[in-house]
Structure 1
């Protein structure tokens, strides 16, 4: 049975198939793998540890001479994601009806969902379609975890005053450190770099499965059509913006589109904002379920969208990621 070959024929298959399988298990048989010990630690709770190990392996492939490229890509993705999500949110505030909603969507949910991104999903996608500088860009993307950038957008829009204490530098360092450790090991020893390189691809289906165990298809039903629309906006608007900006920069455009998702931690953002300002308290419940629905929708749809973009580029004679690698990178992966 050729499982690996079958998965590779599906766009993003190494990530999306385990993720969907786990989401189905979590939705219909949520306790099946929650039996404790090694099984639960690996298949349910292992996403963060596996992603951290993936980032360490990726960091080992980065030469200190090209670290600036990774930071540039990360900063570009971060700014594009925030600018597009914030702009759509601002329009929603301006066009909201008497109930404070825009086409049934809570504006605060739009900003929370569209300025945040699923780091695990990004890492999985660029692990298949990107290079080492794209994967290392994730260290800077940690800035859009949680309510921090949503608060910044709301502050700029004059909806509320800036609130201190919502972003911890320690959290950022905690994401960056595994990459730094990998970089140090890889730059000190070429053999260690080669050894860790073999771990990157192997880890993708395992942390994708663990990510799927945090997805409940019921969230789409609860969030209703509004949550699905929010997910569609996140994938196609923020993803397309990243795609065209990266294309203009002569970087791999598929990587730019890989930020078109909503992270699970964004579900808590409306409540955090309401705690800081009671003006948002009336929309906490609807915003929460809409962000939750967007999380599930983007987790399922973004890999399909990325697969479509890859095939579209390949029809034009562009091979992903080979055509966006340096000569050194191509020789190293050959």
Structure 2
């Protein structure tokens, strides 16, 4: 059986197929692999550790000549996603009905979902279509984890004052450190860099499956059409914005589109905001399920959108460095 060959013929197949398989199992037979020991450790609880190892391997491919590019890409994506998500959130607040909803969507849910991205999904997509500096850009993107950027958006809108305690510099360093360790090792020994390069692609289907084991399709039903709509907006507004900006910058636009998702940890954001300001408490429960629905929707829809873009994107005209990236075979150059 040519399983690997078949998966590679599907754009993003090494990521999307294991992810959807894991989500299907978690939805209909959640206890099937939760039997303890090595089985549960690998197939259910491994996403964090495997992504950390992936980032270390990716960091080893960064030389002193391309570290600046990685930071520039990460900062660009972070700003673009925040501006796009905050703009839709501002529109929602401005046009909300008497119940505080915008076409059934809670504005705070829109901001939380659209300004926070699924780092695992980004790493999986970029692992197939991007380069080492694209993968390393995640160290900057980690800044949008949690309610920090949502709070900033609300502060800008004048909806609430600045509240301390939402962002931890230690959390940011904890994400950055595996990349730094890999970068140091790779720059000290080119043979070690080549050895670690072999690990990146192999890890993708395994942590993608584990990510899927954290997704339950039931969240789409509970969040309703409004939650699904938030997920659709997240993919097509923030993903397309990243795609366009990266194309203008002559970087791989597929990488730019890879930020069009909602992270699972964004589900906790509405309650965190409500805890800081009781004015948001009335709609916090509804916002929570809508963000959960957006998380699942983007996990399914974004890889499909990426596949659509891959088939229709010509990298001719990109920088020489970026033009080396392949767009269909699943192979990347480091």
Distance 1:324 1:286 in 2: 44
2:122 matched to 1:122?
A: yes
Matched pairs, number: 328
User: Residues 324 and 333 of structure 2 are in contact (CA less than 8 Å); yes or no, is this contact kept in structure 1?
Assistant: no
2:104 matched to 1:66?
A: no
2:327 matched to 1:290?
A: no
What per-residue deviation string (whole Å, max 9, x for no partner) do you get for residues 221-249 of structure 1?
Answer: 00000011000000000000000000000
Distance 2:164 2:308 in 1: 41
Aligned-pair CA distance for 1:188: 0.2
TM-score (norm 1): 0.96
Aligned-pair CA distance for 1:162: 0.6
Counterpart position of 2:110: 110
Aligned-pair CA distance for 1:322: 7.9
Unaligned 5+ runs, structure 2: 326-331
Distance 1:256 1:55 in 2: 18
Distance 1:322 1:161 in 2: 44
Counterpart position of 2:84: 84
Tell me the SS of whatever aligns to 1:74: helix
Counterpart position of 1:97: 97
Distance 2:333 2:102 in 1: 48
User: Residues 23 and 212 of structure 2 are in contact (CA less than 8 Å); yes or no, is this contact kept in structure 1?
Assistant: yes
User: Residues 23 and 217 of structure 2 are in contact (CA less than 8 Å); yes or no, is this contact kept in structure 1?
Assistant: yes
What per-residue deviation string (whole Å, max 9, x for no partner) do you get for residues 100-134 of structure 1?
Answer: 00000000000000000000000000000100010
After TM superposition, the structure 1 = structure 2 runs for residues 252-331 of structure 1, keeping only pairs within 5 Å, are 252-314=252-314, 324-325=323-324
What per-residue deviation string (whole Å, max 9, x for no partner) do you get for residues 74-112 of structure 1?
Answer: 000000000110010011001000000000000000000
Counterpart position of 1:329: none
With over 3 angstroms needed to count, the CA separation of the structure-2 counterparts of 1:322 and 1:29, relative to structure 1, is farther
Counterpart position of 1:164: 164
Distance 2:308 2:82 in 1: 24
Aligned-pair CA distance for 1:325: 3.5
Distance 1:227 1:108 in 2: 12
Distance 1:131 1:199 in 2: 14
Counterpart position of 2:174: 174
User: Residues 251 and 322 of structure 2 are in contact (CA less than 8 Å); yes or no, is this contact kept in structure 1?
Assistant: no
Counterpart position of 1:210: 210
2:141 matched to 1:141?
A: yes
Aligned-pair CA distance for 1:324: 2.7
Tell me the SS of whatever aligns to 1:333: coil
With over 3 angstroms needed to count, the CA separation of the structure-2 counterparts of 1:129 and 1:318, relative to structure 1, is farther
What per-residue deviation string (whole Å, max 9, x for no partner) do you get for residues 168-205 of structure 1?
Answer: 00000000000000000000000000000000000000
User: Residues 147 and 166 of structure 2 are in contact (CA less than 8 Å); yes or no, is this contact kept in structure 1?
Assistant: yes
How well do the aligned residues superpose, as a CA RMSD in angstroms?
1.7
Aligned-pair CA distance for 1:317: 6.6
With over 3 angstroms needed to count, the CA separation of the structure-2 counterparts of 1:100 and 1:85, relative to structure 1, is same
What per-residue deviation string (whole Å, max 9, x for no partner) do you get for residues 44-64 of structure 1?
Answer: 000000000000000000001
With over 3 angstroms needed to count, the CA separation of the structure-2 counterparts of 1:294 and 1:72, relative to structure 1, is same
Stretches of 4+ aligned residues off by more than 6 angstroms = 316-319
TM-score (norm 2): 0.96
With over 3 angstroms needed to count, the CA separation of the structure-2 counterparts of 1:333 and 1:249, relative to structure 1, is closer
Unaligned 5+ runs, structure 1: 327-331
Distance 1:22 1:182 in 2: 29
Distance 1:322 1:40 in 2: 40
User: Residues 316 and 323 of structure 2 are in contact (CA less than 8 Å); yes or no, is this contact kept in structure 1?
Assistant: no
Distance 1:14 1:227 in 2: 27
Distance 2:310 2:321 in 1: 12
